[in-house]
Structure 1
Amino acid sequence: MPRPYPANPAERQRDEIEAVIARFAALHHGHSTPVPGLSVARITTPVPPTAQVDAACLCICVRGSRRISNGDSVIFHEENHFVLTAVELPSIIAIPDASPHRPYTALRIDLDLNLARQVMAEIDIDTPSHAPGDTCLAVIKLDPAMLDCVARLVRLLERPGDIAFISKLIHQEILYRLLSGPGGARLRRIVRLGSQGHRVATVIEWLNANFRERLRIEQLAEKAGMGVSTLHRHFNELTGMSPIQYQKQLRLHEARRLMMEEELEVGMVALKVGYESATQFIREYRRLFGAPPMRDVKTIREAGQNQKTI
């Protein structure tokens, strides 16, 4: 039976977004779209805990919900909210309730931090750029202005001739609304050159490129231009974990990918991601993913769930 026509304008826009994504998903495989920076998902079966690393982006649950584990924290991301990620964060994402009758429908918009820096230079923001406890992963209520931006961006999937010009303008407006909205402090502290957040973001970028190397915290502190204790404090505020924990998660995420995609055996994978001891690798893998490496990979393959999600 068709869903009743909603009286709420926001609900109508979400229905429209859901319908456009459903039509797109029926014709295309994967999550990428021809609209720059936009990925969409329509998932009809539950997704078990899945490891992924996302760069700066905002994700919106149009229908359904997901569970995000980041460090020691767990976030429940529900409809009509978006998650803002301001730096690259390794996370474990699960979608427990997706079904053919109620598909999980979501989208991700990648954020151009250089463009965000240009936008921030042009707007006057009086709110502080740092608030204690502000991490770079937060669930924020989707207000009507942001929902309208998102709806216009998604409509471009069915207006390909408008993509090249209009998508740039909408991305700029989305950044404006993020920077000036309730979650803006998280993004501004990363974007502002010379800020503590921007220095930590530089360290995070280095770790993502060099996570296989032996970690020396003094070297990271020097890169950030901070003392060791200051780096630890700000790094934990932004990511919810220490630099060593962050590196460990990057290694284990990459190990899982290698076993799934390249079918490498455990000892080889452990060496490739930077572990000297296969025993330590197996112990830490099990602690993060809940099962030893080979059993975990076998379970994912048997379930047919080797997919990145949104």
Structure 2
Amino acid sequence: MPRFAIRRLQTGPEELRAQLPITGRTVDRRTNPHGTGEFFYARLDQRLKYRFPRESNAARSTGQHADRDDRGPFMWVSAVILSAYTPGQQPHFGMRDFAVDLAYVVDPSLADDSFMDPDRVDYMGVAEIDDDVDTLDTVDVAVPHVNGEAAVLTTAPEVVAAPLVSPNDFQPVLDQMTAALTSLAGEQSSRAAVVPQRIESDDEAFEDTPTYRLDADALRYRTWDPLHGWVLRKTTDSDELLYWILDDIASGIAWRWAQQAPAFTDMDEHHALRTLWMPYWHVLMYALRPEWGRRTRESIRRLAQDNPTPLPIRDGARHGPDRIPEVR
């Protein structure tokens, strides 16, 4: 859940309701030393006014966080703690109206700790949050180190392919975009990426590898779909084929990175897919082209809504390649 938007409150003060919508991004996970549960420390894009319910509580607000207006003293809140309202649930990519307990961070020193201290937050109520990635291009996106190598996307270059006037122009552009994608992901995460192979006829098709053909009448792409297994796509738009191929490569890179993440071993497959694989897949495509990122985001949302556990792995044994449906 890298970015979120709060647009509705189920319960909470009118002062907070009047300041909606609120957007922000999660920057850390916290444990509660006094109980169970997972908490997300999040920074807000815009500060919130908070008037303490008791005057004595204002002592916790110091320095640049304290202020006063014609109604009296208040503090500026720039961080919150979120936790799932329903036990056992987790915020996830593509979520809509996901209920969370919301607390203001009233003691800024909480940012330096690794646990959630209830004495340094004020509980505000139950909010409903959506994922929010429309402002991703203005935010640096980073992911943790894996095996000593950083997989970090910051100020990612937007590589725009030139219009393709013939199929013969396709390969150099694909090579350029593939190189940009693997550079963004880093060598460690992209080392095992599955790159689709170009073939001249169906007789050359690989059983377990995506393939594409650049025929005069149509561009064909045989690929793995997380919901349907092996499928065949056809188009006359070379940019469309370029997106399909790069989206597949990004999906594979994101899954490899998810498996290498230290948190992966502590998650079930459902949680790992939604909190590691899907966001990173989207980030990679957004870094190539924002419009591609938005398109991939919609595909991911459909995956999250239509299937409890979509399969990022191409597995002919589970979805045999004998009958290949044709899809757009």
TM-score bucket of the superposed structures, by smaller chain: under 0.3
For normalisation by structure 1, the TM-score amounts to 0.23
Higher strand share: 2
Q: Which protein is richer in helix relative to its size?
A: 1
- Scaled by the length of structure 2, what TM-score is found? 0.22
Bigger Rg, which one: 2
